[in-house]
Structure 1
Amino acid sequence: MPQLRERFEEFGWLIKAVAGILALLPGVAILLGLVDIPPDLEDLINYISFSISIVTILAVMLLTPAIDKVRPSLAAVIIVVCAAAGAVSATSYRSFAQSHIVSIPVGEEVERHVIPLNPSAEIRQLMEPYSWDYVEALQTHVQRVRLKELMARDSGGSTARMILLLVLAQTLIVGAIVFGAWKLAGSGKKKVEA
């Protein structure tokens, strides 16, 4: 297998470059609208998403000496655990967002509103006659403008949870990809040197 080891050495930079590009994909998915995000959060999440990708790549680059010392079996476990935890976090985001983001058609456009984790007494009073059907209430309630204002005011907890789940998912998945690529490229180099 000396030829394979030599190829790892020759293409270590390529493996790292591909990992860096792959690490940007979660941010690209968010930018392309593949992840449902309310418009008022979209710019913030886009900014955070790319920042997290770049920070994760830089952290892995700075930890290269430590990564090279990790045993391959432990590295494989770290990669699988990070990828699985990232997938769980992304799935949790999707599930939470589906139950806490309400989309209301307004002509040709769609308005998105975040349902608060702990609705205020006023929201509960407005929603009770609608059996907690936010879509119907936001379309037909006499006080729908007030309901929108209250939801925007009280949605901090839901918003924070969505951002946390997205950032965690992206950090873990990007970290797994880049860590794996760095370890693979580094282990090839290490074996060739030995």
Structure 2
Amino acid sequence: MDSTSSDMAARPPLESTADNGLKIVIVGGFGVGKTTLVQSVSDIRPLSTEEMMTRAGEGIDDTDAVRRKSATTVAFDFGRISVDEHTVLYLFGAPGQERFWFLWDRLFAGTLGAVVLVDTRRLADSWYAIDRLEQHGLPFIVARNVFDGPAHTTEQVREALDLPAGIPLVDCDARSRSSSKAVLITLVRHIHALSAAQEARL
């Protein structure tokens, strides 16, 4: 398991050759691991807007599946990762609770692509994220956060989410830097492939 904090100081600064910055948004339901993914993969100390959950959220936030969760994102998380010497990803983790969904439209502004992080134990929580991304016309991939082990096969997940064959569906462990980085690389390649296909049609 990769460390999410012990090697933070050893992570490299932004390369002077970096000339291609891409804004990426991580979306998904409440408690699926968005903050964890940003924290695990960021080259810099991530900005987090997590606040302690209080009784004010009782009856509003559905915590049945995440009973051990004690804090939640109330605005967004921010991190940065260098994919190579020229390409830098600026990561924005969106809040998952329905009462904060109004922030998503602002986060989507200027975004080139998104990762929909899903918990297969709560697939219905992902439908809204996918619907909003499709409405905005943003390319995206789906990453299945395995937690203690997937509850469904990838084929079952693809069918349940009604994902077209052209949208990548990958497994990940949001706690692992290497696993989370692989998810982001998959998204960058997907965006590039869509761009190349569009240029070929012109």
Answer yes or no: same fold by TM over 0.5.
Answer: no
Higher strand fraction (1 or 2): 2
Higher helix fraction (1 or 2): 1
TM-score, length of structure 1 as denominator length: 0.24
Please say which structure displays the higher CA radius of gyration.
Answer: 1
TM-score, length of structure 2 as denominator length: 0.24
